[in-house]
Structure 1
Amino acid sequence: MVPPTAVASSDAATAIGTPNAPATKDPVKDTILTPRFYTTDFEAMAAMDLSPNADELEAICEEFRKDYNRHHFVRNEEFEGAADKLDPETRKVFVEFLEQSCTSEFSGFLLYKELSRRIKERNPLLAECFAHMARDEARHAGFLNKSMSDFGLQLDLGFLTANKAYTYFKPEYIFYATYLSEKIGYWRYIAIFRHLEKNPDSKIFPIFNFFENWCQDENRHGDFFDALMKAQPKSVTGLRARLWCRFFLLAVFATMYVRDVARKEFYEALGLDAREYDKYVIAKTNETTARVFPVVLNVDHPKFYTRLERLVRNNDKLSAADEGNAPAPLKVLRKLPYWVANGAEMAKLFFTNPIRSENYQPAVR
């Protein structure tokens, strides 16, 4: 799954241990911008008929079986002492990035692992695909958590499993959300890798050397959900599907943009402009989703980014309103106008005419 960018955390620098004895980091407080853990209707997943696209799903499963990255995530001598070279502010935003990325990958592992376990008797092909993806996500999460230990911190993934709140999504919503997560993850990873390949002086930590192969896991996972949606045609045809695809595209793009701009210091450390980086990722992901979603967003509309910038400003004001020692009811009253304003901007974005995928880029259809 896609690693989200860093989210501000007041406890990011507390209780530091050592690389050999890392301290357990308290998880960040859940907000609308932090990674979520998901559950779904396992019975409905087990009963799914894959026959409309069984051949493609079998071919993708065969790709998973090859496990191309089996020997890729092996740390080398470049990691030794790399953490000590970062200045305090860069260390802070980078640790936040590692934490949120690890949480996101681990969320994917838990969902895929539980799906593979619960449906293996009734839907073995689907269960095997989820088991392979769980393997990949666990590998990613472990690698990220090990990198956190270079900074004297680690996440207690067992604690997260038992104590994190789980959000229920119907299977088709899982398809939309995880497909977008995996595909946007591919474009995020590959964009950073290509930038650092051209600008090696901006490579602040050796983990970025792994992003080229890593992003191919994300891409293959996205291809799986593409094939799965095609095996369930109702998920990508008709008015209802068009509306839900618009909703999930907008929710993912808006959340990413607000989050990344809020923590632009991380991207500056890599020599990137957060806004330009996000615009590239959004454009590429939007183009990719035209392969399966019935509609995509008009991200070239002159007001698209104007409205996203309003969300950024409102988010800054919400953060400011949440600071201090004011009573909780007073904080809610202070934040209410910005919640309403955000809702209005999201509604305007949602009701902006989308582009039918068959007209957007016929070649990819």
Structure 2
Amino acid sequence: MNMQASQVRASGATHTADATTAEEGIAIQQEQAKFDSTAATEAAMQNTLLTPRFYTTDFDELDAIDVTPVRADWDALIAEMEADPNKGHFKKNEDWDHVDWDGMDPALRKEFIDFLISSCTAEFSGCVLYKEMKRRGANRDITRLFQLMARDEARHAGFINDALREAGVAVNLGFLTQKKKYTYFRPKFIYYATYLSEKIGYARYITIFRHLEAHPEHRFHPIFKWFHEWCNDEFRHGEAFALLMKTDPKLTSGRNVWWIKFFLTAVYATMHVRDHQRPAFHAALGVDPDWYGHEVFTKTSELTKQIFPITLDIENPRWAAGLRRLQKANADLAAAKAETGLGARLRSLGAQARAASAFVGLYTIPARKHAVPASTRLEPAY
């Protein structure tokens, strides 16, 4: 890290928004770690079904990818990312309004900080994975892509941490890199999960941004003003993973379609449950979580048609009913885990069984099939 810090000083970058590599961005964060909060870092360290994880994979398999079948779209995307349209964007400027953290409703403050910590951890988990691929690989096409994506994610995580520091908390990202548990996923599972994470991230951010454009009285924090450019980074990253999957038709056909359906269901269901844990946050935004979820799922489903041969039938009555059952089971599980004794243990097991049953019910809803276009490339249209 000392070497990275010296590189930052040599480059003249003093803020993660100006860093041109992930290494520079992480080094800047490490320099600021003395201001970070133990409690926030401990929250980011948690590993549950609903918290963002750090992933590792078979980097040799990633390094062997041949992008020749998608060369034209690939080169265009890389050129767009190398142009770096968001360099210098993710830092406070004159549009950053004062935030009265002390005067904020306590429930909203708690949920918003939880949202920021979770978002920071998710962004940084992508940075860590992408940076490791860049470090280990020899395939110039692949290492260049992951270097660019790691750069973007480091900026996002650093910007969120800046917002957290105003509230007197922040995540020690260097500590996370060293100490957080890593989960191994096969490359194809990394593709499915990360592609969906990037595309649903775009759909989430742009839905909030457009809502607050129409209702600025609900913009209780200035970070939401940055969501438009932010979600465009997410969109480009999703485009990259769509192209990676396009290089091997087996990834989106045959038995792998069942895996695609699993990840679609898991990502959508996790978002629904997590959002319903933050009622004060969504009330402050003037957003009904059920409406918001359906908007995000609709946008994401349209986007994923570019590469996935199926979409989930989110209009099926079983879908909303299944999400409600899953949410109730999760709430009951959280309540049981907060207690002790045999009764609490039995209630916990019962809630876990109901959650599993609800998920199976969601997964077994017949999917909608469609033809996948010859070219995957899309432009953000929302």
TM-score, normalised relative to structure 2 = 0.85
Give the distance between the partners of 2:197 and 2:321, measured in 1 at CA.
24
After TM superposition, the structure 1 stretch with the greater mean CA deviation from structure 2, 77-86 or 344-353, is 77-86
1:137 alignment partner in structure 2:
153
Give the distance between the partners of 1:45 and 1:90, measured in 2 at CA.
42
- Does structure 2 retain, via aligned residues, the 8 Å contact 1:36–1:167? yes
After TM superposition, the structure 1 stretch with the greater mean CA deviation from structure 2, 48-57 or 90-99, is 48-57
**Paired letter, 1:60:** L
Matches within 5 A, 1:75-224: 75-79=92-96, 81-84=98-101, 86-119=104-137, 121=138, 123-224=139-240
Give the distance between the partners of 2:66 and 2:344, measured in 1 at CA.
49
Higher RCO (C-alpha under 8 Å, 6+ residues apart): 1
- Does structure 1 retain, via aligned residues, the 8 Å contact 2:309–2:372? no
Q: Which of 51, 54, 65 is 1:37 aligned to?
A: 54
Give the distance between the partners of 1:251 and 1:233, measured in 2 at CA.
23
Change (3 A) 1:46 1:256: same
- Answer yes or no: is 1:339 the counterpart of 2:368: no
Q: Which of 203, 227, 243 is 1:227 aligned to?
A: 243
Give the distance between the partners of 2:160 and 2:91, measured in 1 at CA.
12
Give the distance between the partners of 1:139 and 1:26, measured in 2 at CA.
18
- CA drift of 1:347 comes to 1.4
1:261 alignment partner in structure 2:
276
Give the distance between the partners of 1:36 and 1:115, measured in 2 at CA.
17
Runs of 4+ in 1 over 6 A off after TM superposition: none
Change (3 A) 1:218 1:270: same
- Answer yes or no: is 1:354 the counterpart of 2:346: no
RMSD (CA atoms): 2.0
Give the distance between the partners of 1:331 and 1:57, measured in 2 at CA.
53
- CA drift of 1:79 comes to 3.7
- Does structure 2 retain, via aligned residues, the 8 Å contact 1:57–1:227? yes
- CA drift of 1:77 comes to 4.0
After TM superposition, the structure 1 stretch with the greater mean CA deviation from structure 2, 345-354 or 149-158, is 345-354
- CA drift of 1:334 comes to 2.3
- Does structure 1 retain, via aligned residues, the 8 Å contact 2:199–2:235? yes
- Does structure 2 retain, via aligned residues, the 8 Å contact 1:108–1:137? yes
**Paired letter, 1:296:** T
**Paired letter, 2:247:** A
| Deviations 1:146-200, CA, capped at 9 Å, x for gaps | 1000001111111111111111111111110010000000010001001111111
- Does structure 1 retain, via aligned residues, the 8 Å contact 2:97–2:221? no
| Deviations 1:219-251, CA, capped at 9 Å, x for gaps | 00011111111012111122x121011000000
Give the distance between the partners of 1:269 and 1:80, measured in 2 at CA.
17
Equivalent position SS for 1:275: helix
Equivalent position SS for 1:72: coil
- CA drift of 1:80 comes to 6.0
Q: Which of 295, 302, 305 is 2:310 aligned to?
A: 295
Equivalent position SS for 1:153: coil
1:14 alignment partner in structure 2:
none
Give the distance between the partners of 1:250 and 1:81, measured in 2 at CA.
39
- Does structure 1 retain, via aligned residues, the 8 Å contact 2:127–2:154? yes
TM-score, normalised relative to structure 1 = 0.88
Equivalent position SS for 2:124: helix
**Paired letter, 1:158:** G
- CA drift of 1:357 comes to 2.2
- Does structure 1 retain, via aligned residues, the 8 Å contact 2:202–2:234? yes
Give the distance between the partners of 2:334 and 2:296, measured in 1 at CA.
25
After TM superposition, the structure 1 stretch with the greater mean CA deviation from structure 2, 184-193 or 255-264, is 255-264
After TM superposition, the structure 1 stretch with the greater mean CA deviation from structure 2, 86-95 or 140-149, is 86-95
Give the distance between the partners of 1:355 and 1:204, measured in 2 at CA.
38
- CA drift of 1:330 comes to 5.8
Give the distance between the partners of 1:146 and 1:331, measured in 2 at CA.
40
1:17 alignment partner in structure 2:
none
**Paired letter, 1:350:** Y
- Does structure 2 retain, via aligned residues, the 8 Å contact 1:83–1:150? no
- CA drift of 1:333 comes to 2.8
| Deviations 1:191-210, CA, capped at 9 Å, x for gaps | 10011111111111111110
2:65 alignment partner in structure 1:
48
**Paired letter, 2:221:** F
Give the distance between the partners of 1:60 and 1:274, measured in 2 at CA.
34
Change (3 A) 1:31 1:103: same
Using the aligned pairs only, state the percent identity.
Answer: 44
- CA drift of 1:22 comes to 5.2
2:320 alignment partner in structure 1:
305
- CA drift of 1:55 comes to 2.2
- Does structure 2 retain, via aligned residues, the 8 Å contact 1:291–1:357? no
- Does structure 1 retain, via aligned residues, the 8 Å contact 2:36–2:169? yes
- Answer yes or no: is 1:283 the counterpart of 2:301: no
- CA drift of 1:313 comes to 0.5
